[in-house]
Chains A and B, each alone.
Chain A
Amino acid sequence: GAVVSQHPSRVICKSGTSVKIECRSLDFQATTMFWYRQFPKKSLMLMATSNEGSKATYEQGVEKDKFLINHASLTLSTLTVTSAHPEDSSFYICSARNRGGSYGYTFGSGTRLTVV
């Protein structure tokens, strides 16, 4: 089945620094990838849709300058949390749609970000 690899799984960073999270589709091409954020005991909240070769589409209330998304190839999208603050601490999850298969959307394993 389709596999999406997300890295790193955990990261701790200092306030004011930036953190990059990678999302790779390993065995299929994904023209579109999606980034979610999840707070403890809450559901996933869609942050943005990442389009290969073009600008990402952000959901209402998500700061595009804060959460930079780059989708430079058909298998890689990155999310950079810039000038991180403790309130950015969360679980970030990416997903990609495998149009060629029957599994719908495939999700990465998530990244636990802690800003200290």
Chain B
Amino acid sequence: DAKTTQPPSMDCAEGRAANLPCNHSTISGNEYVYWYRQIHSQGPQYIIHGLKNNETNEMASLIITEDRKSSTLILPHATLRDTAVYYCIVDQTGANNLFFGTGTRLTVIP
């Protein structure tokens, strides 16, 4: 079962930063937080993942709170092509699979 909660939808103005929150209050010490996104009728695309430290790559930044009970995905300069459903997933180590929650539908507005 999904172990994360996310707001169902968010809007963001084009060119502005999009901040997508995720709660994972029951996360275990060895579980990673993964973020994926799914553009309509495509397979999910990996964005970023982290354990404890904040992470940044060419797509986004991931901010994980010190208690690890929540995280925020930041798209620094949202474009129209970033419109998608964003999924925050806790990797259930040992279970060897991913369970998806409902995700956040991000709409980037021109």
Contacts and interface: CB of A to CB of B under 8 A. Distances in A.
What DSSP secondary structure best describes chain B's contact surface? Answer: loop
Chain B interface size range: 20 to 34
A6 B43 contact: yes
Nearest to A106: B46
A105 B42 contact: no
Contacts of A107: 36, 43-46
A102 B57 CA distance: 12
Interface string B56-93: 00000000000000000000000000000001000100
Interface in A74-93: 91, 93
Given A34-B97, A43-B87, A49-B97, A110 B46 contact: no
Interface of A: 1, 4, 6, 32, 34, 36, 43-46, 49, 91, 93, 95, 97, 102-110, 112
A97 B44 CA distance: 13
Nearest to B43: A107
A105 B43 contact: no
Given A4-B43, A49-B97, A95-B43, 8 more contacts: A1-B46, A6-B43, A34-B97, A43-B87, A44-B44, A106-B46, A107-B36, A107-B46
A44 B42 CA distance: 12
Contacts of A104: 32, 34, 46, 49, 91
B25 interface: no
Given A104-B34, A104-B49, A104-B91, A46 B98 contact: yes
A44 B103 CA distance: 10
A53 to B, nearest CB: 15
B30 interface: no
B84 to A, nearest CB: 13
A24 B63 CA distance: 33
